[in-house]
Amino acid sequence: MDSFGNTIKTARETKGLLLRQVAAALDIDQAIISKFERSERRPSKEQVEKFADFYELDRTALITAWLSDKIASVLHYEDNIEEILKVAEEKTRYLKNKGR
């Protein structure tokens, strides 16, 4: 269960790329990418998709890692996490069906 940051850092290191090379290719500041890799800052969905394309990673898996990081950062102090997630899932299904 890797975080978004660990996933992109591992991909960069596997390809033998420096942060500055990735920054130039994606037109994202090197310091910001470093913060993404350390999970100190959250990218936009558009940026997540750029990383997926650049590193040739599965988009769905990378978006899942990114979203789960976001959700975990909001919920980790709560006592009733399971109930919150259950209700959120129900609301999400309702909104998805409503939009059809």
Ramachandran sector of residue 27 (left: φ over 0; alpha: ψ -120 to 50; beta: rest) = left
Please report the pLDDT score of residue 2 as a whole number.
87
Please report the pLDDT score of residue 98 as a whole number.
87
The amino acid present at 80, given as its one-letter code, is N
Q: Along the chain (100 residues), what's the average pLDDT of each consecutive run of 10 residues?
A: 93 98 97 97 97 97 96 93 95 88
CB 9 within 8 A of CB 23: no
Distances (CA, A) of 13 to 59, 69, 72, 77, 79: 19, 21, 26, 32, 37
In whole angstroms, give the CA distance from residue 33 to residue 26: 10
